[in-house]
Structure 1
């Protein structure tokens, strides 16, 4: 499935400049071809309007008319249902459940390591090793289909690809035998929609 170029109703997305969770939502919006207003926020200094809208001040925060949503999974599933074409989850319940479990695993075990990998020291180095080992343990899943556990782009890919994009900047290198992971990422990175999902700060992560 190609990332769409269609335009829809304008939404407002409050996003950090470099955030794996915010990037996930921006990638979904690119896949859906949805037009939106992007407001880049310093998480340490949230603007007054975000404070008024979201009691947790968390990012990403999505505003659709009178509806305010936060928590990344809630926002992701809302966008897939609000804009059903192209669908980012399979039709059959078994495949949907399998992808949902994969996303839970990413959210619980993989994505928290992104922040832990930043910086230097023993803790960061240990986090890099855990992330590298986790990806290598999942190598057969990257070989099972064109996208992650699915023949077409899904919400699981939108959660995973921002992580893969950040690996070099996190200091996580994969061995040659992990080419299936590298190839998976490059297939999506080449799509113009993926480029549209990046902030200027995120584009520099691979320069």
Structure 2
């Protein structure tokens, strides 16, 4: 079982948590061509989008984190991550959808400023302020989903917990964590103690500690950050369209496949 991933990818973290919850052994690998846009090699063959995560089991290669999660749930049904009740399953999936789109984009945008210096001065301050305000809105929404329950799945850890965990934890890393003593803050403290999550977060912390030395590779164009769907939307709506334009001029950002410049 091979998982193409990056330890900082919230999508990959979600999958790793699910696999570890189910006790499925896997080998994690950062693809050599990750972020280069190259269309050759086994990674691009497994996923033409060249995005992580990608799960490879024998001749089966699956990309897109939600589809991977569905495969994992069906392939290894015990312990279940999705509740049995159809309405509760829908709630879990909706929670995941918001995290995978709006929340991931806010975290990603903040990282563009913090780690990659995409903006400076007043623009950087404005984008950080936008990210902080939007993070608070999202965390308040998640707190409402959590309510008084110990887990987003109710009494048991589940699908939504695996999806929310990487998002909130990255906010905490950025200094934008939930209010001290709030239900979401208590949930985050609780989830950090869970073995599947603790191991995944340790990998995140180790990779985050190396971002300062890795950032030049991305800003020089050796690797290019992908401005996909909600990420691009976030940067534009939050006032950072000049960040996108400068990235295009410098050739150190990319957009998703298909690309006419790639064979």
User: Does the alignment reach a TM-score above 0.5?
Assistant: yes
Mapped contact 1:166–1:205 kept (Cα < 8 A): no
Mapped contact 1:12–1:62 kept (Cα < 8 A): yes
Picking from 182, 186, 203, the partner of 1:183 is: 186
1:205 is displaced (CA, Å) by: 5.4
Distance 2:48 2:202 in 1: 25
Picking from 29, 41, 44, the partner of 2:31 is: 41
1:135–1:198 Cα change, 3 Å:
closer
1:138–1:52 Cα change, 3 Å:
closer
1:108 is displaced (CA, Å) by: 2.8
Normalising by structure 1, we get a TM-score of 0.85
User: 1:124 corresponds to which residue?
Assistant: 128
Query: What root-mean-square deviation, in Å, do the aligned CA atoms of Structure 1 and Structure 2 show?
Result: 2.1
Distance 2:30 2:202 in 1: 9
User: 1:62 corresponds to which residue?
Assistant: 55
User: 2:222 corresponds to which residue?
Assistant: none
User: 2:145 corresponds to which residue?
Assistant: 141
1:16 is displaced (CA, Å) by: 0.9
1:150 is displaced (CA, Å) by: 2.3
User: 2:11 corresponds to which residue?
Assistant: 21
Larger CA deviation: 135-144 vs 11-20: 135-144
Mapped contact 2:2–2:55 kept (Cα < 8 A): yes
User: 1:196 corresponds to which residue?
Assistant: 199
1:29-62 deviation per Cα after TM superposition (whole angstroms, max 9, x unaligned): 1111100111123632478220222111110011
1:190 is displaced (CA, Å) by: 0.7
1:77 is displaced (CA, Å) by: 1.0
Find runs of 4+ consecutive structure 1 residues off by over 3 angstroms. Answer: 198-201, 203-206
Normalising by structure 2, we get a TM-score of 0.68
Larger CA deviation: 18-27 vs 100-109: 100-109
Distance 2:205 2:15 in 1: 14
Larger CA deviation: 191-200 vs 151-160: 191-200
Residue 102 (str. 1) matches residue 95 (str. 2) = yes
Distance 2:142 2:58 in 1: 40
1:112–1:136 Cα change, 3 Å:
same
Higher relative contact order (CA 8 A, sep 6+): 1
Unaligned runs of 5+ in 1: 1-10
Equivalenced residue count is 195
Mapped contact 1:20–1:162 kept (Cα < 8 A): yes
1:149–1:84 Cα change, 3 Å:
closer
